[in-house]
Structure 1
């Protein structure tokens, strides 16, 4: 196969399809922020909060989990972080009069964007089914009925879900509430994105998180990206990437979509580059791998490394491999037996392309492997990740400075919530310490993750769903089936800052409880409180809100969790819900007592610039696996797809625009892809359009090709020519979530296969 045989190349995009004209960052980012400033009615305090965002003494961004440097920039926020903050600081209010005016049935017809545009929630609300409206209720009434409903069911019939928003203090109490009540049903938003990481990195290198810190980006020689869209999902990451490139670091990117942030970047804080300077080219090689083809791409590069080692020797770090790993021989034999024609077919890349990438790896002393959901959200996500670990370990690039593996997490505290106990898998939770500290009898069996909870709901085994943040109905796979099942629940509770789709499918008893946002001032008994979050590099940061809350009736997430717990559980001399609400330092003391190695002197270390590091055993080459060794993975296939596409089947990749965060839609501009307006589109390359007989702008229906007796389809998608590999299509999350079967998920963690599900295109009238 030659480069000319492919519908894309390693270095250039298809110029005839939509694409961004400018680099990531620059004036485009500033215009994006300005648009939100113009649309939202924000208070003057917003600019002051942005000025201190992600800095000591300020608020930690409510958007992504990227690290916060000890020496921050003048503006340590990105376009999407600013959007999230301004979105939260709106003056618009979804108050009691709003809900008196609009029925739930009417609100279901609103778009996701318009629902959140209605403003901040101000009052605790109870659903009145006769009026089909949410009506105000007192906090005492809400807590009392929620407690009665939870006590009336078996604890195993309740699920306590959390998004990645709540701080460590509220999260710790939420997990304690669940276990004191009697279950481990604690699914979390990571179940939909990086649970592949949590489960499989633990198995491979003994930790459930990445091994890198920000300092590693100052000394790495090469960075390999897999399935991560930095420009949209973590734009502050572009600053250390720019510095790395300028000092000579080489970057190679594998992604089916050419994302502008990893092509070139203009620093909005550099006046020269913003005016007369040139953009910084980020990726030296940009390889548009087929969806699911990362296994083959990594195998091809490893094959090149083995061949070079055979020729010249001293390429593979056999000292590291012999001392620290197991399974190398079987893995090596499997890679050497692979045929190059199969590697090229499955990856969609040529031998020459993969050889160039492998040369960059072999010439670098220190290499970091970065990945996002493009690697994890596949049926074979475990194999994708295992192959990346293999690749890095060949030259000892895990467990030393300037090197390592680094998943880029999404929501701001999604990793931290797992750290302090929001986990359905009991192996990661010190249940014995909880027993001793609180005189409770926590259940020993694993609880339900998001997929298992949904399966149990469909089977009638779940009766209550409590949601600490998030928009779960919209975020789930098989979302239409799940939305239809939701009203069968006896109890639904939503702790939220704004209105979203999930609240509009109430259970028989349903509450919306308005909470403070990250940016809001949190005072308890007149004393200001601080919350903490963990970034994606295992550093713990204090976050201090300063905006006036949208209503005196809003309560902190911690206060709401404690209020529900106190109303549900019998009184106990060791469960001090009221005292913990009044003073968050007491909760941090409990976290330190439960996890002393990582959180000792918690409150004292909390103000550390750049956060305090809670440590990482694999970074010290201490492998906390079953055998005490890091594990090589032996591949038995060259694709991470559950099944190879056949006939007219295509592989669906779902995308987020740069005008959204998870299910929050800020607007309808996907500027960094050159797409504007409707989100009801289907991206296909021109060769595939011709093969399938499709025309630009033609309306089609996309149908799931998983044959399980359920019909799943999304109609009315406009065909849009776009630069993608053959055999795949792309469209927006969450609009295309109805096409992903609940059962179609990563094998070992049940992470939904949002980046690699089989579909068919049905033209209108067919």
Structure 2
């Protein structure tokens, strides 16, 4: 039975632990609902296994020694969703106009099942109609040739393989365009900007082995039970070894509190769960810099106190100055002295490997504790306790997610994570590294093989040498830039390799209006979504094979490759029967469009489509150090580690050092009417456990007690009372900045939730219309989906101006 929104939704208490029977039931339900109760389990047996396929959901790593079931609830949903028996075939499109389909929900569009035939929009009857592949390629090529390269955008979602992404960026550049916006622009671009500045690497330095070698984990702003549930196995193993996990997250999430492992009969039968976080600090939305500054300040001042005492082996509070106003620092320093510690900081590492320490340390010393407490929402005692735990650990693994990157100050958030790691040398040694948890499978890998709007990050000279063309050197458009260009009428064509662009972006209403003015929109996809039913003057819907399906080409069944969150490359081989005989692979579609469009370049498109190993050979020729022996090692257990010099404490920055970079302030400066500031809450968007990014599997959120709706705003109980509401009220949310344009979402039900005062949360993408396009990090241009000032008013009642 299809999941549907309910007329009378229920909001109650959520689960207190991740996994368990709830995850098992949910997995069984999705297999039944998608009509794959027999084929689904046999397929899942190969998910994330050495000889199988990489999950199409999150980007977590494929271990060398997998569990018997190396998939999670969300991974099972993604697999069932892709291999469903449902079909959005010719008959479906013949029965529905696109105007009608625009009224359908995201869930209901995708729930129609797999696309089966290439389609072209007919303006006369407002329907998608079948078209031959050759005719589709011919017209798309003709339309692209009629446009200037600057007028065309080539978007990439996170699921395409390394082989496809390499071909796609090459096609765009031979065409003459660097307009290569991608989903990374909307999630971890802040990491891609900040990490190179701090440590000279665009990716994190962590490996799976760090979970076995650390003695402490700092877990920052990433919801493991919805975004990367398989990581719970690694966290559970670490806890069982006695590792302390210190968590900073606004909401109390079950996966960061307790885990019942579905693969452990003892836990499933008894209900016994593993406690995950030993310390849990509910930082306010946007308070991460202040919280981390507080931890750093405690470390630095305790180190100052120890040095001032001149005592290295004398225990007790007599070893440090007795300043009554500084009791917490005195106690901290005393505890370190009692532990026979001369220094709290790793001064040898700081002196040898870093730059900028003194400036950063002075900034930390200079902040008043009261200000840090007010901005972070944490007490001095909490920040000091976190620092104490950190200081007593020898190898600390730093894990963070989009709760830090999707901010106006996302780059500075990431700088602060690195600053904390550098204080005690927690980078480049076993167990001590930085793990930036990416969202979609292979969103990181696409960047590795050239999907970037920044020409300086692509090997243009090598591409020119290999393929006999002159690559464009002008800077292309990121996702935000593309949205601006579409709204201003500068972009004329949009080619999308997967994804649901119109749902993923901010400024939803204005973008949909502008989208209809595009001359050409081309969508390469497996399922129907919002970006397909809102369209340009000429619109094509091109269905492709999914990663899970057998990809038979001239040389036989093909394999593809994917990069994980811990920068390892993995082979992936599909095992399911294709949904339709009319489907082409992503490489075949890219090659078909490229051959119909390009008049220059020397690329063996047909050879590549016939044998993907030749694409991998080309990738290796382009990036010889990164992809050494690529084909030979493709299915190497545990994956092929990507060379990351910072793992060996070799920092490829301009000064060859790891850099302490001091944020200029603790919190963004918003232009809000002071008279109305007391009514403003800071909104964060979040995902339910029944979705992945813009894909909505159903209308439940077991972990937050939501059933039958997604139009919910979670609020602190004190805020509900002080603003004059009650739990269950139906309200509207209105953006409290950039008020020249009214941005509002309506009909959201208040749900009381354990979260910091002054904060609220709502689901993505339902809350996306609230976000101005200009509300993003200044350097990374990542939309600030985790921090937006909003006002709440009873539904139908205008909020204050």
2:731 to 668, 692, 700: 700
Moved over 3 A (4+): 640-645
2:639 to 586, 596, 611: 611
Partner of 1:356: 385
Measured after TM superposition, the shift of residue 46 of structure 1 is 2.2
Partner of 1:602: 630
Partner of 1:202: 196
* Distance in structure 2 (CA, Å) of the matches to 1:349 and 1:199: 28
Measured after TM superposition, the shift of residue 607 of structure 1 is 1.2
1:719 to 736, 750, 756: 750
1:543 to 545, 560, 572: 572
1:405 has 2:434 as partner: yes
* Distance in structure 1 (CA, Å) of the matches to 2:214 and 2:356: 27
1:334 has 2:328 as partner: no
Could you report, residue by residue, the CA deviation over 1:228-287 in whole angstroms, capped at 9, with x for unpaired residues? 000111000000100101111000111111111010001110001111252000001111
Q: Secondary structure at the match of 1:647?
A: helix
* Distance in structure 1 (CA, Å) of the matches to 2:450 and 2:128: 32
Shift in CA distance, 571/631, structure 1 to aligned 2, threshold 3 Å: closer
Measured after TM superposition, the shift of residue 18 of structure 1 is 4.6
Measured after TM superposition, the shift of residue 321 of structure 1 is 0.9
1:589 has 2:620 as partner: no
1:97 has 2:91 as partner: yes
1:762 has 2:756 as partner: no
Q: Secondary structure at the match of 1:252?
A: strand
Measured after TM superposition, the shift of residue 685 of structure 1 is 1.1
Give the stretch that moved more between structures: 38-47 or 593-602. 38-47
Shift in CA distance, 213/525, structure 1 to aligned 2, threshold 3 Å: same
Measured after TM superposition, the shift of residue 756 of structure 1 is 0.2
Measured after TM superposition, the shift of residue 741 of structure 1 is 0.5
2:591 to 554, 557, 562: 562
Q: CA RMSD in A?
A: 1.3
1:225 has 2:214 as partner: no
Give the stretch that moved more between structures: 524-533 or 663-672. 524-533
Residues 486 and 506 in structure 1, CA contact (< 8 A), matched pair in contact too: yes
1:732 has 2:760 as partner: no
* Distance in structure 1 (CA, Å) of the matches to 2:454 and 2:168: 15
**Which has the larger Rg?**
2
Residues 378 and 641 in structure 1, CA contact (< 8 A), matched pair in contact too: no
Partner of 1:256: 250
* Distance in structure 1 (CA, Å) of the matches to 2:348 and 2:12: 49
Partner of 1:3: none
* Distance in structure 2 (CA, Å) of the matches to 1:44 and 1:434: 46
Measured after TM superposition, the shift of residue 571 of structure 1 is 5.6
Residues 43 and 89 in structure 1, CA contact (< 8 A), matched pair in contact too: no
* Distance in structure 2 (CA, Å) of the matches to 1:302 and 1:754: 26
* Distance in structure 2 (CA, Å) of the matches to 1:741 and 1:407: 26
Residues 492 and 509 in structure 1, CA contact (< 8 A), matched pair in contact too: yes
Shift in CA distance, 386/571, structure 1 to aligned 2, threshold 3 Å: closer
* Distance in structure 1 (CA, Å) of the matches to 2:663 and 2:57: 36
Could you report, residue by residue, the CA deviation over 1:293-327 in whole angstroms, capped at 9, with x for unpaired residues? 01111111111111221233411111111111111
Give the stretch that moved more between structures: 704-713 or 367-376. 704-713
After superposition, where does 1:601-680 map in structure 2 within 5 Å? 601-640=629-668, 642=670, 646-680=677-711
Residues 31 and 37 in structure 2, CA contact (< 8 A), matched pair in contact too: no
Measured after TM superposition, the shift of residue 208 of structure 1 is 0.7
Partner of 1:290: 284
Q: Secondary structure at the match of 2:45?
A: helix
* Distance in structure 2 (CA, Å) of the matches to 1:182 and 1:553: 31
Give the stretch that moved more between structures: 517-526 or 308-317. 308-317
* Distance in structure 1 (CA, Å) of the matches to 2:56 and 2:462: 31
1:136 to 118, 125, 130: 130
Residues 555 and 610 in structure 2, CA contact (< 8 A), matched pair in contact too: no
* Distance in structure 1 (CA, Å) of the matches to 2:764 and 2:270: 37
Q: Secondary structure at the match of 2:522?
A: strand
Measured after TM superposition, the shift of residue 640 of structure 1 is 4.9
* Distance in structure 2 (CA, Å) of the matches to 1:184 and 1:449: 10
* Distance in structure 1 (CA, Å) of the matches to 2:181 and 2:140: 20
* Distance in structure 1 (CA, Å) of the matches to 2:40 and 2:710: 29
* Distance in structure 1 (CA, Å) of the matches to 2:399 and 2:668: 18
1:743 has 2:771 as partner: no
Partner of 1:29: 23
1:157 to 143, 151, 160: 151
Give the stretch that moved more between structures: 310-319 or 481-490. 310-319
Give the stretch that moved more between structures: 311-320 or 420-429. 311-320
Residues 469 and 495 in structure 1, CA contact (< 8 A), matched pair in contact too: yes
* Distance in structure 2 (CA, Å) of the matches to 1:703 and 1:139: 45
Partner of 2:180: 186
Measured after TM superposition, the shift of residue 642 of structure 1 is 5.0
Partner of 1:370: 399
* Distance in structure 1 (CA, Å) of the matches to 2:468 and 2:146: 23
Could you report, residue by residue, the CA deviation over 1:677-733 in whole angstroms, capped at 9, with x for unpaired residues? 211111111100111001222221101111252111001111111111111111000
Partner of 2:269: 275
Partner of 1:531: 560
Residues 59 and 543 in structure 1, CA contact (< 8 A), matched pair in contact too: yes
1:430 has 2:459 as partner: yes
* Distance in structure 2 (CA, Å) of the matches to 1:391 and 1:406: 14
Q: Secondary structure at the match of 1:494?
A: strand
Partner of 1:13: none
Residues 685 and 763 in structure 2, CA contact (< 8 A), matched pair in contact too: yes
Residues 174 and 600 in structure 2, CA contact (< 8 A), matched pair in contact too: no
Measured after TM superposition, the shift of residue 77 of structure 1 is 0.2
Could you report, residue by residue, the CA deviation over 1:621-676 in whole angstroms, capped at 9, with x for unpaired residues? 11111111111012332225656892311111001000000000001111112222
Residues 222 and 402 in structure 2, CA contact (< 8 A), matched pair in contact too: yes
Partner of 2:497: 468
Residues 194 and 412 in structure 2, CA contact (< 8 A), matched pair in contact too: no
TM-score by length of 1: 0.96
2:207 to 203, 213, 231: 213
Residues 716 and 758 in structure 2, CA contact (< 8 A), matched pair in contact too: no
Measured after TM superposition, the shift of residue 22 of structure 1 is 3.9
After superposition, where does 1:242-253 map in structure 2 within 5 Å? 242-253=236-247
* Distance in structure 2 (CA, Å) of the matches to 1:243 and 1:696: 39
Q: Secondary structure at the match of 1:683?
A: strand
Measured after TM superposition, the shift of residue 95 of structure 1 is 0.6
* Distance in structure 1 (CA, Å) of the matches to 2:225 and 2:38: 28
* Distance in structure 1 (CA, Å) of the matches to 2:66 and 2:443: 22
Partner of 1:8: none
1:421 has 2:415 as partner: no
Could you report, residue by residue, the CA deviation over 1:189-242 in whole angstroms, capped at 9, with x for unpaired residues? 011110000111111111110000000100101111111000111000000100
After superposition, where does 1:494-509 map in structure 2 within 5 Å? 494-509=523-538
Residues 49 and 59 in structure 1, CA contact (< 8 A), matched pair in contact too: no
TM-score by length of 2: 0.92
Structure 1: 5+ residue stretches without partners: 1-16
Q: Secondary structure at the match of 2:615?
A: helix
Partner of 2:161: 167
* Distance in structure 1 (CA, Å) of the matches to 2:739 and 2:456: 33
* Distance in structure 2 (CA, Å) of the matches to 1:244 and 1:698: 42
